Structures are given as structure tokens and as C-alpha cells.
């Protein structure tokens, strides 16, 4: 079949950039470009975050690239299975191979869509028949200013800018020190509610650098619930099932977590533990779109909520929005609210919140145009 395009070229493009949404800390991502013999190009990304994990992922992708040449990119799920099999020794239950597979898988879905003229959402199936499905959109933020009044004003503006609410990551870079002082944390959420109004969705996300005891977490979450907290994310480490169970006995808010899992095995465990209501999943980590679709099936079967952990580039966001729109078990789409290079420079039509929601990309593949000059500009 001479007409079937095959994979002609696989290249890997690591970048580093200052992230305005994270107090301008340096972040690292790994992009993959896959070109077919008929000239179509697909893009994928892994959210590798750190220099060492980025270097390692680059090398793994280079190691897998030769075997991709000559394959039919429309047989992408078969290729996904082959890579899982090929990396058996260093991918069991997670690791850098999952970053590599994620980037390759996303690029192959993009390429397949471009070759066949289908958008990702057409290929994976939309959750409803509406011609204009829109997903409620949330500002996913970190706080860093030591003066929390400044942070309250900043978050009030996100509501005015068209977000339904915000999720605040604590224990991050900067001087905000939210998550350390119980009384101060309680006042902060009270002030946020007063500024954002009664309808705004407010979520709090602990962050792994903070260590909370069960008792102080109960006190914190109960006080936040008085401000109509929508969910608390990772209040404990993912494996501290007993802590979650104790917290559950004293609170009613939703518990979110899961973003540190790598594959269906890890997700099966946290889902079966019964500790979470909202399952976070990063498409640039959990074996790509193909991996995430499997996790969505687990979430749907358990009657939980799926949440895309899309805190990365526009490649990741494009795939994430389609995944969100594919399942009725999704409440919202997260977006980084401050302009940043990997969302606003990388593509010509950046994703934006409009009146509290965001549309689903409908052009072929991921539906975005990646500017390669931007990848060169931020090359790592």
C-alpha cells in the first residue's frame, strides 16, 4: 500500500523557560515532533519539569525513535502498546519512560488527526451532542506574595477575567507561605470568598513541600468549608490512605488527587482505595492520550470525577480539553491565568477563558499551530 503515509522523522525538543504563574521559576518541558512521509507534522509534550528528568526523557525518546520510522501513524494505539512492551524493564509502575511514551503518543494522535482530517475530539468521542460543547474553566494558580491582600486582589481579578473560580497551590516558590499558619490560612480563604463573591469556585491544593497532621488538616478544611470550599487537593501524600479516611469522617468537601500516578495500575489503586472524589491526570505524564482514556474509563466506572492536570504547554492543554470534553465525569478545565511563553507564544491562537468556559479545539489533530521558532528560542 504505497499510499499509506508512514513515520519519516522523529525529533525531540527540550525547552526551559521562566513561568510567570510560578513566581518566574525555571520550568522544563520535552516536546516531540513526528513527521510523516506525506509532510504532516504531529506534536507531543511531556511535563518533565526538572533538568535531569528532561535530559533522561530526551534520551529515552531518542532510543525509541528509530523503531518508529516506517510505521503507520494511524495505527497509534498499536504503537503505544509496542512502546509499553519495549520499555518493560524501566517503565513498570512508572518513571521517565512514561514521559517519553506520553510525548510520543500525543504527537501520534495529532499526526493521525492531521492525516485523516479529524480533530482529537472527533477521534475520541465527545460527551454530548452539542455542536458547541464548552467546559467551565478555572484559574489554576500559585501564590507567592507575602502580603496576602495582594493575592486576594489578584484572584478577585481572575473572576472578573472570566474564570468560574480558582484553585490555589500552596507551599510553592515565593514568600506567600500559605499552608503554614492555620489562622492565617483560614483568614485568607475567608477574604478570598468575600472578594470573589458567593458563586466563585474555590479550591485549595496543599503542595508536596507542606506536611500537615491529620488534626490540623481537619481544622483547616472544616474552617474552609464554612467558605464553601469546592475541593481540597492532596491534603496528604497519595499513599496516606488512613489519613484521608480520618479526614473524610469530619468533612464533606471533595478530595482531589492522583496527579502523581503514572498509569492505570497506580490509578486503579488510588481509585479502589476510595479516598478520592476527583482524579487528577496529566496527559503529559500518564502515558499520553491513550493512557488518559484508559484512566477516564476507570474514573467513569467508579462514578468519580476526572480532572486534567494541565499546567504545562498549549500542546498539553489542547489534548487535555479534548479529554475533559470526552467524559460526562468532568467538572472543569484548569488553565494557567497569567500569560506565559509555552501557552501564549508557542501557538498563534492561545487558549482563553471566556465567560467562565472554554471551547473544544475542532481543527485536525490537536487543533493548534506550534511555532517552532519558539521552541528554538527556549531550547534547553
205 binds Mg ion (CB under 5 A): yes
Q: Each residue of 194-229: b (16+ CB within 10 Å) or e? A: ebbeeebbbbbbbbeeeebebeebbbbbbbbeebeb
Stretch that binds Mg ion, among 185-193, 202-210, 281-289, 359-367 (CB under 5 A): 202-210
Cβ nearer to Mg ion, comparing 159 with 170: 170
> Residue 185 or residue 233: which is nearer to Mg ion going by CB?
233
Task: CB nearer to Mg ion: give 56 or 169.
Answer: 169
Which is nearer to Mg ion, 233 or 263 (by Cβ)? 233
Burial category of 332 from C-beta neighbours within 10 Å (exposed 0-12, middle 13-18, buried 19 and up): buried
DSSP assignment of 28-59 equals EEEEEEEEETTS-EEEEEEEEESHHHHHHHHH
Window contacting Mg ion (CB under 5 A); options: 3-11, 204-212, 246-254, 323-331: 204-212
- The least CB distance from residue 334 to Mg ion, in Å, is 9
Kindly determine how many residues on this chain lie close enough to bind Mg ion according to the rule CB under 5 A.
Answer: 2
- DSSP single-letter state for residue 126: -
**In this chain, which stretch among 143-151, 198-206, 286-294, 365-373 interacts with Mg ion, using CB under 5 A?**
198-206
CB of 257 to Mg ion, least distance (A): 8
With contacts defined by CB under 5 A, name the span among 86-94, 131-139, 222-230, 232-240 that binds Mg ion: 232-240
- Closer Cβ to Mg ion, 110 or 282, answer by number: 282
Binding residues for Mg ion restricted to 63-102, rule: CB under 5 A: none
Query: Binding pattern to Mg ion, positions 102-141, x when CB under 5 A?
Result: ----------------------------------------
Q: State which residue has the least CB distance to Mg ion.
A: 205
x/- map, 233-262, Mg ion, by CB under 5 A: x-----------------------------
Q: Which is nearer to Mg ion, 42 or 258 (CB)?
A: 258
Q: Does 45 bind Mg ion (CB under 5 A)?
A: no
Q: What is the smallest separation between the CB atom of 47 and Mg ion, expressed in angstroms?
A: 12
User: Taking the alpha carbons of 254, 260, 265, 269 in that order, is the dihedral positive or negative?
Assistant: negative
CA distance 168 to 190: 14
Closest CA to 230 of 294, 136, 142: 136
Interface with Mg ion, residue 334, by CB under 5 A:
no
Q: For Mg ion, which stretch binds (CB under 5 A), given 84-92, 142-150, 229-237, 268-276?
A: 229-237
Q: What is the DSSP string of 247-310?
A: HHHH--SEEEE-TT--SHHHHHHHHHHT--SEEEE-TTTTTHHHHHHHHHHHHHHHT-EEEE--
Q: Are 119 and 362 in contact (CB under 8 A)?
A: yes
Give strand pairing partners of 28. Answer: 16, 49
Distance, CA of 280 to chain centre: 8
Torsion over CA: 308, 311, 312, 313 (sign) = positive
Smallest separation, CB 376 to Mg ion (Å): 31
- 125 touches 326 (CB < 8 A): yes
Q: What is the DSSP string of 296-337?
A: HHHHHHHT-EEEE---S-HHHHHHHHHHHHH-SSB--EEE--
**Cβ nearer to Mg ion, comparing 233 with 345:** 233
Q: How far is the CB of 341 from Mg ion (least distance, A)?
A: 22
**Spatial distance between the Cα atoms of 213 and 217, rounded to a whole number of angstroms:** 6
Provide the minimum distance between the beta carbon of 21 and Mg ion in the complex, in angstroms, as a whole number: 13
The DSSP output letter for 24 is T
Q: How far is the CB of 250 from Mg ion (least distance, A)?
A: 22
Interacting residues with Mg ion (CB under 5 A):
205, 233
Amino acid at each position: 500500500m504505497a499510499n499509506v503515509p508512514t513515520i519519516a522523522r522523529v525529533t525531540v525538543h527540550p525547552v526551559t523557560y521562566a513561568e510567570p504563574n510560578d513566581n518566574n521559576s525555571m520550568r522544563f518541558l520535552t516536546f516531540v515532533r513526528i513527521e510523516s512521509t506525506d509532510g504532516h507534522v504531529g506534536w507531543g509534550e511531556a511535563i518533565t519539569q526538572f533538568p535531569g528528568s528532561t535530559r533522561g526523557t530526551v534520551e529515552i525518546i531518542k532510543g525509541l525513535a528509530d523503531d518508529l520510522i516506517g510505521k503507520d501513524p494511524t495505527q497509534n494505539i498499536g504503537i503505544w502498546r509496542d512502546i509499553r512492551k519495549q520499555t518493560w524493564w524501566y517503565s513498570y509502575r512508572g518513571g521517565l519512560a512514561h514521559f517519553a511514551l506520553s510525548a510520543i503518543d500525543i504527537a501520534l494522535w495529532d499526526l493521525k488527526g492531521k492525516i485523516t482530517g479529524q480533530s482529537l475530539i472527533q477521534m475520541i468521542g465527545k460527551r454530548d451532542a452539542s455542536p458547541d460543547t464548552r467546559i467551565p474553566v478555572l484559574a489554576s494558580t500559585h501564590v507567592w506574595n507575602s502580603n496576602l491582600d495582594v493575592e486576594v486582589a489578584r484572584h478577585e481579578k481572575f473572576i472578573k477575567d472570566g474564570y468560574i473560580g480558582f484553585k490555589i497551590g500552596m507551599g510553592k516558590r515565593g514568600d506567600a507561605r500559605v499552608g503554614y499558619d492555620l489562622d492565617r490560612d483560614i483568614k485568607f480563604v475567608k477574604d478570598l470568598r468575600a472578594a470573589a463573591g458567593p458563586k466563585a469556585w474555590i479550591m485549595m491544593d496543599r503542595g508536596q513541600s507542606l506536611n500537615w497532621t491529620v488534626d490540623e488538616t481537619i481544622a483547616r478544611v472544616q474552617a474552609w468549608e464554612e467558605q464553601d470550599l469546592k475541593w481540597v487537593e492532596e491534603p496528604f501524600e497519595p499513599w496516606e490512605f488512613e489519613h484521608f479516611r480520618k479526614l473524610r469522617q469530619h468533612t464533606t468537601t471533595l478530595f482531589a488527587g492522583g496527579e502523581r500516578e503514572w498509569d492505570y495500575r497506580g490509578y486503579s489503586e488510588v481509585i479502589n482505595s476510595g479516598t478520592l472524589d476527583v482524579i487528577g491526570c496529566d496527559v503529559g505524564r500518564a502515558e499520553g492520550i491513550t493512557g488518559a482514556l484508559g484512566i477516564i474509563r476507570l474514573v467513569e466506572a467508579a462514578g468519580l470525577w476526572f480532572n486534567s492536570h494541565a499546567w504545562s504547554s498549549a500542546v498539553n492543554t489542547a489534548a487535555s480539553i479534548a479529554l475533559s470534553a470526552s467524559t460526562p465525569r468532568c467538572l472543569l478545565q484548569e488553565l494557567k491565568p497569567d500569560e506565559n511563553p509555552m501557552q501564549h507564544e508557542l501557538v498563534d491562537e492561545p487558549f482563553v477563558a471566556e465567560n467562565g468556559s472554554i471551547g473544544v479545539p475542532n481543527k485536525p489533530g490537536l487543533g493548534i499551530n506550534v511555532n517552532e521558532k519558539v521552541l528554538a528560542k527556549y531550547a534547553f
